[in-house]
Every structure is written in structure tokens, then in C-alpha cells.
Amino acid sequence: MFLLNISLKLASNKEMSRQLIDKRIVELLQSNEPKKAFRLAVDEYTESIYWHLRRMVHIHEDADDLLQEVFTKVWQKLSSFQFKSTFYTWIYRIATNEALSFLRKKRNKVIHLSTSDEDLHLEQKLVADSLFNGDEAQLKLANALNTLPEKQKTVFHLRYFEEMSYDEISKVLNVSAGGLRSSYHLAVKKIEEYLKQAV
């Protein structure tokens, strides 16, 4: 309970700080200062968006390219941002769409591999990658995530790693919060089963 309280306080502080920055970005956009708004967005979101992309595509170079794409789109669309959603969910929506579109293109290019071949392929790639610091359990988790359907995988990423609320995920993915909740639990069960078998 003590840990839960600390965790809640930290999450709450993080949430407040993000809300303040988003508010400032919106103010700058409304006062017709898109350059300043963009710089603030780069300062605030470069790292979190990078990690979100990296966990989805695994390889640093791919995540780096996608990060560039995401911020190029943010700059291009900044003037048409309609303040209907928060800046936070808007930028995550762009990033998630870019990552999913990249993964689809990549999957179409690769000759069809069986699921076990795919796991082996990813495992070999990660082990060989000098920028992978994970332990064995994390390697298994990455493999387990790779076996999930696209939607469940995305929901799991946003909930587990990004620690987004279901309401926020529903705004990013444009799906009802109830559906997301069941999708997340299904993903957790599947990962758990995969890890049991792997051990």
C-alpha cells in the first residue's frame, strides 16, 4: 500500500507537469507563435515519443527515423491542431500511427516467416544489438509482445510502458475505454502464458 501511494503521487506529479506544458503549448499556438510551441513540444516529448517508438519497433535506427517523421508531421499539422484533444494524446496518436504503418510495411516486405521463426529472428536481432540492455526475462517479454495481435500489442505498450489511463488510450486509438480494458487483460494473460511456456 505504501508503494502504491508513492507510485500514485509520482504519477500525479508527472500528470500535472505534463498538463501544464500542454497548456503552455496551446497558449503559444493560440497566440500565433508556432515556432515556440514546437520547440516546447520537442523539449517535452522527444524522449517519451522515442521510447514509445523504440519499444514498438525495437531497433534504434528505425525508431530514430520514425521520430523524425513524427516531429515533421507535428510541425506540418501544428497549425491545424484543433484543441479538441490534449496535445499529449494528439502527438501519441501521430507516433502510434507512424509506428503501426512502419510495422505493416515491414511485415509486407519480409518473406512469410512462421511465428517461431519470427521469435528467433527478433531474439537474434536483439541479442546482436549493442543497444539492447535487457536481461533474459525482458528478452522473453519482447518476444511475447511480438506474438500479440497489433491492437493488443499497442494497447499493452501504452498502458504498461507509457502508463496511460484507459481514457487517454481511447483518445489515442479512437476506441472505447471498455474495449481497451478487456484488450489489455487479454494481452497480459497471453504474455503470462507465453512466459510460462518459455520457462
Partner 1 sequence: MKKQIQNELEHQEAYLLLSISKKEMYAVPAGYFTAKKEDLYDLGDNEYTVPENYFEQKKASLVEIMEKDVPEKALPKAKTIHLKRWISIAAAVTVFAVSIPILNTINFQNQPIAQSTDFQKILNEESIFSDDEIAFLTNSSDDYFYDSFLVETASNELKNDDLEQIENGSYFDSVEYL
Residues at the contact surface with partner 1, assessed by CB under 8 A: 4, 7-8, 11-12, 34-35, 38-39, 42-43, 46-47, 50-51, 54-55, 58, 60, 64, 67-68, 71-72, 75, 131-135, 137-139, 141-142, 159-161, 163, 165-166, 181, 184, 188, 191-192, 195
* Nearest residue (CB) to partner 1, 38 versus 121: 38
CA angle (118 as vertex; 113, 121 as ends), nearest 5: 115
| Nearest Cα residue to 184 out of 198, 165, 40, 174 | 165
What 3-state class would DSSP assign to 141? helix
* Long-range CB contact pairs, 112-117, < 8 A, 24+: 115/147
| Nearest residue (CB) to partner 1, 51 versus 97 | 51
Smallest gap from residue 124 Cβ to partner 1 (A): 16
The CB-of-117 to partner 1 minimum distance in angstroms stands at 22
CB of 114 to partner 1, least distance (A): 25
* 81-116 burial code (b ≥16 CB/10 A, e <16): beeebbbbbbbbebbbebbbebbeeeeeeeeeeeee
Residue 28 or 112 with smaller CB distance to partner 1? 28
Which is closer to partner 1, CB of 3 or CB of 112? 3
Nearest to residue 41, comparing CAs of 4, 81, 10? 81
Q: How far is the CB of 150 from partner 1 (least distance, A)?
A: 19
> Least Å distance between CB 4 and partner 1?
7
